[in-house]
Amino acid sequence: MSSIRQVCLYLTRHCNLKCRYCQIVDNNKFDEIGTSATLEALRIIKKKIDPEFLILFGGEPFLRPDLQMIIDYTNKLDFNYTVITNGTIDRDIQNIKGITCSVDWIDPPIEKALADDVKKSIAGLETLFAFKKQGVPDVTGNMIIHKENYTRVETVVTTLSKFGIWTVLGVVHSGKGFTFRSDCEDLRLSRKEAKAVQSVLLKMCSDKKYLLHNVDAYLANIAVWGHYLDWRCWKQMSESEYLIIDSDGSLLACNDRFGRYTPQMSIFDFDELQYQENWLNDVQGCSGCFYNHIWQLLGSHKGEGLVHP
């Protein structure tokens, strides 16, 4: 049996937007496996790992012309999954079982209206409502909390909850030399701001009317790790419960670093023992982050809080 509980598959690193805090996208640099290789990757994930949760990630997954085929095959393999999208691409994709859209704002300040991360929040909200109306079982808003929107956390969660939409909260990650976070120090929460967020979150997590996917441990520790970004996965776990597959099929040590050894293997020659050894070699020494998905998507989609910081 595999120790990996959650798999994240980058369907692409291309994107139609450029959010201020995101460095994933590079419009030409990254190879992308085609349709049959993507379906084969899904088959291998099911056969060798069979994770509790699968994230179809990007870049922007709705840019993939074969997204409908990917969704159909994901359904056929009976994954518990979500597709994370910026909600700006108007396409008729049927039979999605889980959708997550970025919603950093419900009421953005007018002077920020042209920023891509603000634009995608408006589109994301509309997309979530549309999928909810269609009866998609798992509809979630992903709010990235930062200096400009931290006072809006309760408004976002309350509004989404009212419509039966769940929220996943995460903090903005900033820093130089990473593959995920970009150099956006001006958006990073101060300790005081992170503390203010924490007190709101502690109130909300004990009240069932707020549909929050985060496990309580994440919310309770935002004041510390949300500011310092120095939580270290490798100090908590001797092996990874999370596998990330890049758009070319190679493995990543984590969203923030390719790693030296991990990318030498791909999903097509996946061997879990070797992956775990590579992962541990690559992540030791990392200065940390406060990454959300490992606690959030797994944690409450299954009703369990698992890895506590």
Ligand X SMILES: C[S@@+](CC[C@H](N)C(=O)[O-])C[C@H]1O[C@@H](n2cnc3c(N)ncnc32)[C@H](O)[C@@H]1O
- Enumerate binding residues for ligand X (CB under 6 A): 15, 21-22, 24, 57-58, 60, 84-86, 102, 120, 142, 144, 170, 172-173, 180-182
* Helix 153-162 with 191-205: angle, nearest 10 deg: 30
From the list ligand X, ligand SF4, none, partner contacted by residue 173 (C-beta under 5 to 8 A by kind): ligand X
Near ligand SF4 by CB under 6 A, which window of 12-20, 45-53, 64-72, 277-285? 12-20
- Asked if 14 is part of the footprint of ligand SF4 (rule: CB under 6 A), the reply reads no
Q: Is 59 in the site for ligand SF4 (CB under 6 A)?
A: yes
Q: Tell me, rounded to whole angstroms, the distance of Cα 254 from its chain centroid.
A: 12
3-state secondary structure of 10: strand
Given the complex with ligand X, which of 142 and 198 has the nearer CB atom? 142
Give yes or no for residue 203 binding ligand SF4 (CB under 6 A).
no
Q: How many whole angstroms from its chain centre is CA 275?
A: 21
Q: Go through 229-262 and write b for each residue having 16 or more CB atoms within 10 A of its CB, e for each that does not.
A: bebbbbeebeebbbbbbbbebbbbbbbbbbbebb
Q: Which does 18 bind (CB under 5 to 8 A by kind): ligand X, ligand SF4, none?
A: ligand SF4
Q: Which of 4, 7, 19, 160 binds ligand SF4 (CB under 6 A)?
A: 19
Bridge-based pairing state of the strands 242-245 and 251-252: antiparallel
Among 8, 9, 11, 24, binds ligand SF4 (CB under 6 A): 24
How many secondary structure helices (H) and strands (E) does the chain include? 10, 8
What whole-number distance in Å separates Cα of residue 108 and Cα of residue 219? 23
Q: Which amino acid, 168? A: V
The interface region with ligand SF4, picked from 11-19, 247-255, 263-271, 276-284 by CB under 6 A, is: 11-19
Distance set, CA 18 to CA 140, 146, 180, 182, 241 (Å): 22, 17, 13, 11, 30
For ligand SF4, which is the closer residue by CB, 25 or 211? Answer: 25
Q: Are 4 and 54 in contact (CB under 8 A)?
A: no
Q: Which is nearer to ligand SF4, 60 or 246 (CB)?
A: 60
CA–CA separation, 233 vs 6, rounded Å? 14
- Which of 8, 9, 22, 70 contacts ligand SF4 by CB under 6 A? 22
Q: Which residue, 168 or 278, is less far from ligand X as judged by CB?
A: 168
Specify the residue, 52 or 104, whose C-beta has the smaller distance to ligand SF4.
Answer: 104
When the beta carbons of 49 and 297 are compared against ligand SF4, the nearer one is 297
Which residues sit at the interface with ligand SF4, rule CB under 6 A? 15, 17-19, 22, 24-25, 58-60, 86, 116, 120
